[in-house]
Amino acid sequence: MKLISNIAAWIFGAGLVGLALFVTADVIARKFFGLSFEGADELGGYVLAVGAALAFLVALVVRAHMRIDVIYARLPVAPRAVLDWVSLFTLTCMAGLMVWLGWKMLRDSMAYHSSAPTPWATPLAWPQGVWLSALALFFLITAGSLIIATRDLVRGRWREVNARFGSSAEKDELDAELADLKRRR
Amino acid sequence: TQFKVLGQPTSIGKIFDELEKPFFEDFAKSTGLDVSANYNPVDTTGIKDAEGLRMVKSGLFDIVSLRFSPISRDAPIALGIDLVGQNPDYKSAKQSTELFLPEVKKVFEASFNTKLLGVWPFGPQVLFCKPEVASLTGLKGKKVRVFDQSMANFVDSLGGTPVPMAFPEVQQALQRGVIDCALTGPSSANAAGWPEVATTVIPVGFSMAFNGYGMNLDRWNTLSADQQAAMQAAFDTLDAKIWKRSEELYDEAMRCNSGGEPCSLKSYSLKVMKPGKADFDAVKKALAANSFPAWQKICDASTEGCSAAWMKTVGKAKGL
Amino acid sequence: MDIQTVAIGFAVMLALLLFSLPVAAVMTITGVVGGALLYGLPLVDSMGSVIWGVLNDNVMTAVPLFILLGEILLRSGIADRMYEALSLWLGRLPGGLLHSNIGASALFAATSGSSVAAAATISTVSLPALTNRGYPVRRSLGSLAAGGTLGILIPPSVNLLIYGSLAGESVGRLFVAGIVPGILLTSLFSLYILVEAKLFPGHEREMSQISWSDRFQSLRYLVGPLLIFMIITGSIYTGFATPTESAALGVVGALMIVIVRGRMSLDFLGQCFVNTARTSGMILLIITGAFMLNVTLSLGGVAQAATDWVASLGLSAVGLLIALIAFYIILGMFMDVLSMMVLTIPVALPIIKAAGIDPIWFGIFIILMCELGLITPPVGMNLYVVHGVRADNGPFRDVALGALPYVVLMIVFALILIVFPGLVTWLPNQMHS
Ligand code: NA
Ligand code: NA
């Protein structure tokens, strides 16, 4: 899972850097040479759509999806594990819903031969197809995590559930920041 | 009974405030039927206007105010009443709808389960420039804000650089010279303060920016024949009012933008460049050489016989 | 829908949130279940186009780009050096290094879109020095937590971007509107530190004399961040680029600085990418959920119900804003600020528009309320971060109490903005004429 998440992060990051370069070239060309590549806007939209789906996945794997833990943090480990499982379950539902809705979007776009009203006149089915695949990957990871969490929960391994799927975003993040700061200095 | 209605964005201004909103808010009075409407302007819902046809089809809304340029993403045939260069003024806009709307209606019914109850134009989309530009030929080398692809093609064919840009950013961009010219309706321009930063306007309509009302066909079929007649009549009345008001608003906004009287909008002092024969020829040429061929490919891919039907009707009338 | 139903729905949602369910999922569930109850399944169907609409949006693309920009500056060590340079310049003022905390936070804010990483970095770099010199611990922690909140007010700001997207306002104008309040609030913080140091000396050890040549030497560490700030804010102000384009320019600029300074490596890029994906994924999922909820809210007439209810109270515009301050302080204590923003804006905006309040001004006001939320316990992101960095395992109340004066300052500042709305609206209005 860590590996998939790292690969997703690289695709996401490389997409952003590529987009940034393209847009920069476009802005400079527009300002100084009076020509526009056209399509930077459109590309930006697609990079975000696909990138967001990948980023959902990364955030899931590093447990960064925002949860408000005022009460949670004060509970014993067993109820915490149950809440972790419920949280994961709701995220899985959300991912499943997005895949289902994304599939319907794609199906309609194919049926209507919809194409973007832009210079590239991109058939919408292409970006939406890639987008849907990324969403599906996000769903698979949530569903896989849910299976593991269910198994651990049924066996009463509260600590494992908590350690793998619990909300400790701030603590994790802080530890990572401190480690990185050491590396930099 | 209640109809769920997805309306224009609130930002449209007078046509929204004076005609569409009251029409639906007092739907019983407008139609003479025992009906009401749950009316939601599209921009308050987070739904994009390009999704209009899909909204009618899904049945989430019974009636949707369809903006033709965005929805042409799903139904390219909708643009057939308003290709760039096809409608430089209201008269030709009327003619285009008479000739080609039946084709559009057929496709909406067959593919989108949508009964099209009527259409009306926002009005001519004209060109505002900061540097003084006397005619369309003067666009050579200029950066022009466009809002859809057929306009981009047209600007390209005149030797200009089309720049797609979101409406709220245009005024500043004109001011700072990021773009030289921008296209929109004169009343939108007035409301957004474009004349403050532009110097000239060229009143040649690139297109008319059509809007229509679509009703979910299943819902339509639940109405009795009498009710259908009453409903259709109500929308015909609304359409006629908007056609007239749209033209008045266009005239007034042009007047206000150039410091004329009477004027109930903000008054500005733009220079109006009287379009000459060369300008109208350029627009007409763009239709034949540019916007029709580009549209032909996309439309035929989505609807069989689309461009042939256009040629037989509008094309023939234009002598193409 | 009547206001009671709205209140019950809101209370249920708040309860789900407090039970630590993911914010994005709670909003989606509320939106989908509520929508299906009100309108049936077609409503849920239509949300597909809403999701695609939000995510296939060039304006929103700026969100991950600005986050990436902040990551690049942080991971390359540019931000660390910036703090050290500022401490050479500000360290000898009354209140000393506390000014450097505020200054470095503000400068970092001017190059980065969000705040957690910045607060962590500056705290980590500064706390050892602050402790060694014997600064009162509450003052140190408070200034760090408060300084960190400037990141969302001084442009670029991810929160302002989200506001612009939800409110349909020009992001460029919102960014420009944040400049003057950002500078004023920074100055207000510094002024407070100065006054407090004069009235109640903290008895910290003075910094040793620093030679002017050292000081000028250090300036080169400020060049990079300032350059990035100029690129972003300058290109937006002059209309040279849209906010998304300016973010792209900033990213390319920052990458070039990193390459010039010989810090580019695959490891470095990987770090930036993972962190950017993580933060963006969290934010974008919440935004997606918020937009899905928004469909139900608007079709259910919730904003209308709330607007009518507020109108029935007969408050003046000022009264309304003061009531909103109270509301946001309470909400901000228990909610994370991003969730607070996306949940309240769709309902609050029609209300304030009906009251004749400028939506650009209100954008800055909301950001200020978010800043407050970041430093009020029990849920205050910046408090957690700064508390987490301290090495001596002291009690949490140190940072919470230390931040309290800044809470008061922010409330005072919000009142100042109510009295002088021109502080917000003047600069963006200069963009036209
Ligand atoms: Na910032
Ligand atoms: Na708080």
Least confident of A152-156, C211-215, C291-295: C211-215
Strand order in the sheet with B36-41: B36-41, B2-7, B63-67, B210-216, B114-121
Smallest CA-to-CA distance from B8 within B209, B250, B230, B257 is with: B209
Predicted local distance difference test score (pLDDT) of residue C108: 81
How far C296 CA lies from chain B's nearest CA (Å)?
A: 8
| B298 within 8 A of B153, measured Cβ to Cβ | no
Q: Do B161 and A35 touch (CB under 8 A)?
A: yes
Distance CA C63, CA C272 (A): 15
- Reported as a single tens digit per residue, the pLDDT across C379-416 is 777 887 788 777 777 788 888 899 999 999 999 999 99
**Which one-letter DSSP state was computed for residue B21?**
H
Amino acid at B192: A
The nearest alpha carbon in chain C to A2 belongs to C274
The pLDDT assigned to C103 comes to 87
> Token pair for residue B126?
């004209």
- In angstroms, the CA C86 to CA C93 distance is 12
Residue B28, exposed/middle/buried by CB under 10 A (0-12, 13-18, 19+)? Answer: exposed
Residue showing tokens 């899931």: A60
What pLDDT, on the 0 to 100 scale, is given for residue A24? Answer: 94
Q: Helices A40-61 and A2-33: crossing angle, nearest 10°?
A: 160
Structure confidence by residue, pLDDT tens digits, B288-301:
888 888 889 888 98
Give CA–CA dist A93/C25, Å, rounded.
8
pLDDT tens string for chain B (320 positions)?
Answer: 889 899 988 767 788 888 999 999 999 999 999 999 988 888 777 788 888 999 899 888 999 999 998 898 899 999 999 998 888 889 999 999 999 999 999 999 999 999 999 999 998 989 999 998 888 888 888 889 887 777 888 888 888 888 877 777 788 788 878 789 998 989 888 888 899 899 999 988 888 989 999 999 999 999 999 999 999 999 999 999 999 999 999 999 999 999 888 888 888 999 998 888 888 888 888 888 888 888 898 889 888 899 999 999 999 988 87
DSSP C156: S
Residue-level pLDDT at A134? 97
- CA B194, CA B26: separation in Å to the nearest integer? 35
Nearest Cα residue to A43 out of A133, A131, A120, A134: A120
Chain B contact set for C173 (CB, 8 A) = 168, 172
| pLDDT interval class at C367 (50, 70, 90) | very high
Cβ(A11)–Cβ(A130) under 8 Å?
Answer: no
Which letter does DSSP use for residue C264 in this model? Answer: -
What is the model's pLDDT at position A181? 67
* Average pLDDT of chain B to the nearest whole number: 89
Distance separating alpha carbons of residues B129 and B270, to the nearest angstrom: 10
Distance of CA C326 to the CA centre of its chain: 19
Contact by Cβ (8 Å): B163, B145: yes
Of C299, C407, C338, nearest to C37 by C-alpha is C299
pLDDT over 90 (residue C358) = yes
* pLDDT given at position C255: 95
Question: Can you count the helices (H) and strands (E) in chain C?
Answer: 22, 0
**Strand, helix or coil at B72?**
coil
Token pair recorded at residue C233: 């804010």
Cα dist from B76 to A137, A184, B303, B314, C48, whole Å: 33, 55, 8, 16, 21
Q: What is the DSSP letter of A62?
A: T
What average pLDDT score do residues C296-313 get?
Answer: 79
Decide the pairing of beta strands B181-184 and B126-129.
Answer: antiparallel
| CA quadruple B216, B218, B222, B225: dihedral sign | positive
Q: How many domains does chain C have?
A: 1
Q: Residue with structure tokens 């010989």?
A: C262
Residues in C closer than 8 angstroms to A44, CB to CB, are 58, 61, 244
CA of C275 to the centre of ligand 1 (A): 17
- What the block records as the tokens of C14 is 């708040």
Adjacent-strand bridge partners of B215: B63, B115
Q: Which residues pair with B4 in a beta bridge?
A: B38
User: Could you tell me which of B40, B79, B20 has the C-alpha nearest to residue B208?
Assistant: B79
Please state which of the ranges A20-34, A128-142, B55-69 shows the lowest mean pLDDT: A20-34
**Integer angstrom CA distances of residue B248 from B62, B93, B240:** 30, 15, 13
Q: Does A118 touch chain B (CB under 8 A)?
A: yes
What residues in C contact A31, CB-CB < 8 Å? 240
- Give the B-side interface with A, CB within 8 Å: 50, 54, 69-70, 72-76, 111, 141, 143, 148-149, 152, 161-164, 178, 298, 301-302
Given pLDDT bands bounded at 50, 70 and 90, which one contains residue A173?
low
Q: Is the peptide bond before C181 cis (omega within 30 degrees of 0)?
A: no
Nearest chain B residue (CA) to C303:
B44
**Ligand minimally distant from the alpha carbon of residue C375:** 2
Residues of B within 8 A of C59 (CB-CB) are 166
- Cα-based distances in Å from A98 to A62, A101, A104, A106, B122: 21, 5, 10, 12, 36
DSSP string computed for C39-84? H-HHHHHHHHHHHHHHHS-TTTTHHHHHHHHHHHHHHTTHHHHHHH
Average pLDDT over residues C45-50: 84
Closest C-alpha to A18, from B77, C273, B241: C273
User: Which of A5, A6, A70 to mutate to probe the C interface, most C CBs <10 Å?
Assistant: A70
Q: How far is CA C221 from the centre of its chain?
A: 24
In chain C, the N- to C-terminal Cα span, in Å, equals: 44
C-beta neighbour count of A111 within 10 angstroms: 12
Query: CA A55 to CA A9: how far, in whole Å?
Result: 7
Asked if B294 and B153 count as a contact pair (C-beta separation under 8 A), the reply is yes
Q: Is residue A172 within 8 angstroms of chain C, CB to CB? A: no
pLDDT in the model for residue B84: 87
Answer for the pair C374, C170: CB distance below 8 angstroms, yes or no.
no
Any chain C CB within 8 A of the CB of A71? Answer: yes
- Residue type at position A90: T
**Residue in B51, B58, B176 closest to C238 by CB:** B176
H or E segment to which residue B229 belongs:
helix B225-257
Q: Is C336 close to A69, i.e. CB distance below 8 A? A: no
Distance, in Å, from the CA atom of B69 to the CA atom of B76, rounded to the nearest integer, reads: 9
B148 Cα to chain A: minimum distance (Å): 6
Q: Do the beta carbons of residue B142 and residue B161 sit within 8 Å?
A: yes
Rounded Cα–Cα distance for residues A15 and C248 (Å):
12
Structure tokens belonging to residue C125: 């770099």
Which of A10, A170, A172, A177 has the highest number of chain C CBs within 10 A, making it the mutation to test binding with C?
A: A177
CB contact under 8 A, A58 and C60: no
Q: What is the pLDDT of residue C117?
A: 67
For residues A121 and B76, give the distance between their C-alpha atoms in angstroms, rounded to a whole number: 12
Confidence of residue C433 (pLDDT cuts 50, 70, 90): very low
For residue C44, the enclosing domain spans 3-432
Classify B117 as helix, strand or coil.
Answer: strand
Beta carbons of A102 and C48 less than 8 Å apart: yes
pLDDT in tens, A67-87: 877 788 888 989 999 999 999
A27 touches chain C (CB under 8 A): yes
Q: Which of B43, B58, B172 sits opposite C168 (nearest CB)?
A: B43
> Six-digit token pair at B192?
């957004």
* Predicted pLDDT of residue A168: 60
Kindly list the distances between the CA atom of residue C423 and the CA atoms of A38, C69, C170, C177, in Å, as whole numbers in the listed order: 38, 28, 18, 8
**pLDDT confidence tier of residue C430, bands split at 50, 70 and 90:** confident
% of chain C surpassing 90 pLDDT: 26
Q: Which two tokens stand for residue A128?
A: 């939406």
Q: How distant is the alpha carbon of residue C3 from its chain centre?
A: 30
C135 — pLDDT class (breaks 50, 70, 90): confident
More confident residue, A136 or C56: A136
Mean pLDDT calculated for residue range C164-181: 89
Which is higher by pLDDT, C275 or A117?
C275
Residue C45 touches partner B, C-beta closer than 8 Å: yes
**Nearest alpha carbon to residue C328 among C423, C425, C414, C406:** C414
3 state DSSP class of A40: helix
| Biggest alpha carbon–alpha carbon distance for chain B | 58
pTM metric for this prediction? 0.86
Instruction: Kindly determine whether residue B73 and residue A118, on different chains, have CB atoms separated by under 8 Å.
Output: no
CA B30/CA A148 separation, integer angstroms: 60
Contact A123, A114 (CB under 8 A): yes
What is the token pair recorded at C97?
A: 């290094």
**Residue A27 predicted with pLDDT over 70:** yes
> Is the distance from CB of A120 to CB of B298 less than 8 angstroms?
no
Q: Sheet containing B161-164: which strands, arranged edge to edge? A: B161-164, B143-146, B181-184, B126-129, B200-202, B271-272
Summary mean pLDDT of chain C: 85
Question: What's residue A183's pLDDT?
Answer: 67
Kindly identify which residue of chain C lies nearest to residue A87, measuring between CA atoms. C21
Say if B164 is an interface residue toward chain C (CB within 8 Å).
no
Backbone φ and ψ of B4, nearest 5°: -90, 125
Residues B17 and B42: their CA atoms lie apart, in Å, by 14
Q: For residue range A30-40, what is the model confidence (pLDDT) as tens digits?
A: 777 666 667 78
Farthest-apart Cα atoms in chain A, separation = 67
Return all residues near C121 (Cβ < 8 A) that are at least 6 apart: A177, A181, C74, C79, C80, C83, C108
Please report the pLDDT score of residue A170 as a whole number: 56
Closest approach of A87 to chain C, Cα-based (Å): 5
Contacts of residue C50, Cβ cutoff 8 Å, sequence gap at least 6: B46, B47, B48, C291, C292, C295
Kind and range of the H or E element at C114? none
Over residues B188-244, the pLDDT tens digits come to 888 888 998 999 999 888 889 899 999 999 999 999 999 999 999 999 999 999 999
Q: Could you give the angle at the alpha carbon of A169 between the alpha carbons of A160 and A79, nearest 5°?
A: 45
